[in-house]
Amino acid sequence: MTYCVGILLASGMVMLSDSRTNAGVDHINTFRKMSRFERPGERCLVLMTAGNLAITQAVVSVLREAECAGDGRTSLLTAENMFEAARHVGDTLRAVYARDAESLSAFGIDFNASLILGGQIAGDPPRLFSIYAAGNFIEATRETPYFQIGESKYGKPILDRVLRWDTSLDEAAKCALISMDSTIRSNLSVGLPLDLVTMEANVLALRSQVLVDADNAYFSMVRNRWGSALRDAFDAIPNPDVGLS
Amino acid sequence: MTYCVGILLASGMVMLSDSRTNAGVDHINTFRKMSRFERPGERCLVLMTAGNLAITQAVVSVLREAECAGDGRTSLLTAENMFEAARHVGDTLRAVYARDAESLSAFGIDFNASLILGGQIAGDPPRLFSIYAAGNFIEATRETPYFQIGESKYGKPILDRVLRWDTSLDEAAKCALISMDSTIRSNLSVGLPLDLVTMEANVLALRSQVLVDADNAYFSMVRNRWGSALRDAFDAIPNPDVGLS
């Protein structure tokens, strides 16, 4: 499994991914799910992937090939805007589907992939997309400023309660880490290390990129304090009377 | 969808169920998911159901028939202990499967049902079972003192953080209501009213039973205060530095 969350804010973007993959509980590995496509000052794109690892790695490899080809084909480094970039990722997913889906189907394996693409290209505002296995996609808006892929449910309540369009990048990063902590605690197939990046709007380069592992002091602090803060919040609410009147 | 949680504690048991069913988003109804089988002072059993409503209603109807038959057949009112009661519910589920599964399958409908049975019969301690569609079941223990059925993920983190074997009945009821609140906020197909019962160990009767609707003052208070307490807990954790060192 996997858990990734991408958050679009007035002030920029936060992307967080875990790095655990599993094919059964006895086959667990670490693969990072985040890829960056950058020309600092001109564009900064981040792609996160969930689903069948062979499919999502193939998508990223084909995207990298297009990026390096330099033969005028569309790539994430030549797309004119984020919509075109999302379409390019969708088309790439469809090309992988065309090549692999039938063979997977023969083994009873679904073509299972979901992606989050976020970033900014000069001339376009920061934009965030959730791309489905069929290559179609939706875009985040002020009202729905985040997307999750993978094991999304455990970590959704805190996002719903905290994230607003005007939330700051740092607060959103904290919120994403708490959401990830809830997910890691409840699902063994989501695990460290984490990739966390933040982007400020209109800077066209990453603001920060951190690999969060078990030794990360900030994440350890968040984990400890959030657990005890939740417990305190719980204790502060009176118990019901028997009749719950 | 549905969300039900059953909690076994040193001091007794808490059971909470919602009442929303849906067959598509344009076909939403209210059906209560909790059934009680009682002989005060001798036994007190509570059954909660999730899954295909036609299946789970059939199971409850057959259990009620056996209860009323009084012909010496096993029923939840004659089972000698909770293990036998859980087996009887599993057998009933298998009887419904034998009658209906093939016809459902012709329409592409899975035989989808999951149940929680909790209670106490004189001579046996309070016991809590999670019963699967196949009629097999597992039993809660000190280490894993609760079971959920239906839409379980949104409401699981608070249960994991709060519930212990020595948690009081009132605290566990509060925890169940917060877990339900998180679920209702994140999944439209889980909704009010709620059925909440508590049982004290060795009393062999319900301690409390409440129908929690939108006017319930305690649940409204919990919803409001939990939201703001979470927000305060979130604010109390420092934001990360850019480098997350």
**B117: helix, strand or coil:** strand
Mutation target for A interface from B1, B210, B230, B232: give the one with most A CBs within 10 A. Answer: B230
Query: Half-sphere exposure (CA, 13 Å, Cβ side) for B30?
Result: 6
Chain A nearest CA to B223, separation (Å): 10
Chain B environment of A162 (Cβ under 8 Å): 230-231, 234
Contact (CB<8Å) A218/B244: yes
Give the confidence band of A243 by pLDDT, cuts at 50, 70, 90. low
Answer yes or no: are the C-beta atoms of A55 and A31 closer than 8 Å: no
Answer yes or no: are the C-beta atoms of A18 and A192 closer than 8 Å: yes
pLDDT above 70 as % of chain A? 98
Chain B residue closest in CA terms to A233: B229
Give the confidence band of A245 by pLDDT, cuts at 50, 70, 90. very low
Contact (CB<8Å) B230/A170: no
Helix B217-236, helix A169-186: angle, nearest 10: 120
Per-residue pLDDT at A83? 97
pTM score: 0.88
Mutation target for A interface from B183, B213, B221, B234: give the one with most A CBs within 10 A. Answer: B234
Contact (CB<8Å) A157/B226: no
**B213: helix, strand or coil:** coil
Does B25 score more than 50 pLDDT? yes
Does B72 score more than 60 pLDDT? yes
pLDDT tens per residue across span A79-95? 999 999 999 999 999 99
Contact (CB<8Å) B210/A239: no
Q: Which residue has the higher pLDDT, A60 or B32?
A: A60
- Considering only CB atoms, B157 lies closest to which of A173, A186, A241, namely A186
Chain B nearest CA to A231, separation (Å): 7
Q: Please give the CATH architecture assigned to the domain spanning B3-236.
A: 4-Layer Sandwich (3.60)
Q: Is the confidence metric ipTM above 0.90 for this complex? A: no
Give the confidence band of B245 by pLDDT, cuts at 50, 70, 90. very low
Contact (CB<8Å) A186/B153: yes
Chain B environment of A154 (Cβ under 8 Å): 153-154, 156-157
Chain A environment of B171 (Cβ under 8 Å): 239
Chain B environment of A233 (Cβ under 8 Å): 226, 229-230, 232-233
Q: A47 exposed, middle or buried (CB, 10 Å; 0-12, 13-18, 19+)? A: buried
Give the confidence band of B73 by pLDDT, cuts at 50, 70, 90. confident
pLDDT tens per residue across span B187-242? 888 889 999 999 999 999 999 999 999 999 999 999 999 988 888 999 999 998 75
β-bridge partners, B200? B12
Give the confidence band of B244 by pLDDT, cuts at 50, 70, 90. low
Chain B environment of A174 (Cβ under 8 Å): 234, 237, 239-240
Q: Which residue has the higher pLDDT, A167 or A189?
A: A167
- Considering only CB atoms, A226 lies closest to which of B162, B218, B237, namely B237
Chain B environment of A153 (Cβ under 8 Å): 153-154, 186
Closest CA to A16 of A162, A221, A155, A220: A155
Does B23 score more than 80 pLDDT? no
Query: Could you give the CA distance from residue A105 to residue A101 in angstroms, rounded to a whole number?
Result: 6
Chain B residue closest in CA terms to A185: B157
- Considering only CB atoms, A237 lies closest to which of B198, B229, B245, namely B229
Per-residue pLDDT at B243? 55
Give the number of A-B residue pairs with CB atoms closer than 8 Å.
Answer: 134
Contact (CB<8Å) A230/B230: yes
pLDDT tens per residue across span B144-186? 999 999 999 999 989 998 999 999 999 999 999 999 999 998 8
Domain positions in chain B are 3-236
Per-residue pLDDT at B21? 81
Position A146, amino acid: Y
* Average pLDDT of chain A to the nearest whole number: 92
pLDDT tens per residue across span B87-141? 999 999 999 999 999 999 999 999 999 999 999 999 999 999 999 999 999 999 9
Contact (CB<8Å) B168/A239: yes
Per-residue pLDDT at B69? 83
Chain A residue closest in CA terms to B178: A234
Query: Could you give the CA distance from residue A151 to residue A153 in angstroms, rounded to a whole number?
Result: 6
Answer yes or no: are the C-beta atoms of A48 and A6 closer than 8 Å: yes
Query: Could you give the CA distance from residue B103 to residue B83 in angstroms, rounded to a whole number?
Result: 31
- Considering only CB atoms, B173 lies closest to which of A168, A229, A240, namely A240
